[in-house]
Amino acid sequence: MKRLKNFNVCYYSNLIDERLDNFLSSHLNNSFNYLNQDELIDIINTKEIHIVITKYNYELLKKIRILNKQIHIIAYLDELNQTHLIESLELSQIKFIQNLDCLNTFIDSLKECIKNLDSKNSNIVNLKNDFIYDEYNKNLFKDNQIITLTKKGKLFLDFLIKNRTRALSYEEINMEIWNGFMTQDALRSLIKEIRKKTYKEIIKNVSGIGYRIDS
């Protein structure tokens, strides 16, 4: 996580245990902790903060977003529901996390934020026909409603969107989604499922190569 040293992270002291605190301290050149909302707002106003780690509080996150539209937020909550996910579309650049006991989950969340900070991309991807995809939380929306897909459907759509600048080969799709055991019938069935719940052209066939997302 060498790149983490290039970013300033602010985190809620009561949320981070000693193990996570030690991880952040050993990988960050600049970190700031806070104990209440006023301290957090003051830090954001006076320091260049790239990532905030906090408990989910919609009103607080709205204040952060008004102050800084570029900060990426890792928001902890006990139970994630559709209201939270819809609110995250409005606020943008919010990665939900429900298990801070797992260090790998925490590190993966940081890596996602860092990747988008490096590329200056948003996690909110606008597709055609008013479909919206949240890369951080792996959900597809239309008209503020979540489009329900199977587990493999979500994996495949996420893989296509993560690589939206190019076509994915059949071999890449086979290894990533089916771990090397893909059949043509399974692939066709998965594409049919996604198209049925979205629109026909969302997944384009690239002759002789594979598939790409229509973005």
Same fold flag, 2-123 and 148-213: no
Domain 148-213 = CATH 1.10.10.10: yes
Residue 16 pLDDT:
86
> Which CATH architecture best describes the domain 2-123?
3-Layer(aba) Sandwich (3.40)
Place of tokens 């992270």: 9
Mean pLDDT lowest among 85-89, 105-109, 139-143: 105-109
Predicted pLDDT at 1: 55
16/44 Cα distance (integer angstroms): 19
pLDDT average, residue stretch 159-172? 96
The C-alpha torsion from 107 through 112 and 118 to 122, rounded to 10°, is: -150
Predicted confidence (pLDDT) at residue 130 exceeds the cutoff of 90: yes
What are the beta bridge partners of residue 145? 142
CA-nearest of 96, 113, 105, 31 to 61 is 96
Dihedral of alpha carbons 169, 175, 176, 181, sign: positive
Q: In the numeric block, which tokens belong to residue 15?
A: 């949320």
Determine contact, residues 134/128, Cβ cutoff 8 Å. no
Residue ranges of domains in the chain: 2-123, 148-213
The percent of residues above 90 in pLDDT, for the chain, comes to 81
- The per-residue pLDDT for range 171-196, each reduced to its tens digit, is 999 999 999 999 999 999 999 999 99
Average pLDDT over residues 141-169: 96
Return all residues near 147 (Cβ < 8 A) that are at least 6 apart: 131, 139, 140, 141, 197, 198
- Which helix (H) or strand (E) covers residue 122, if one does? none
Provide, rounded to the nearest whole percent, the portion of the chain with pLDDT above 70: 99
Residue 99 pLDDT > 90, yes or no? no
Q: pLDDT tens-digit profile of 34-83?
A: 999 999 999 999 999 999 999 999 999 999 999 999 999 999 999 999 99
pLDDT tens for each residue of 107-128: 899 999 999 998 888 999 999 9
Q: What's the pLDDT at 205?
A: 95
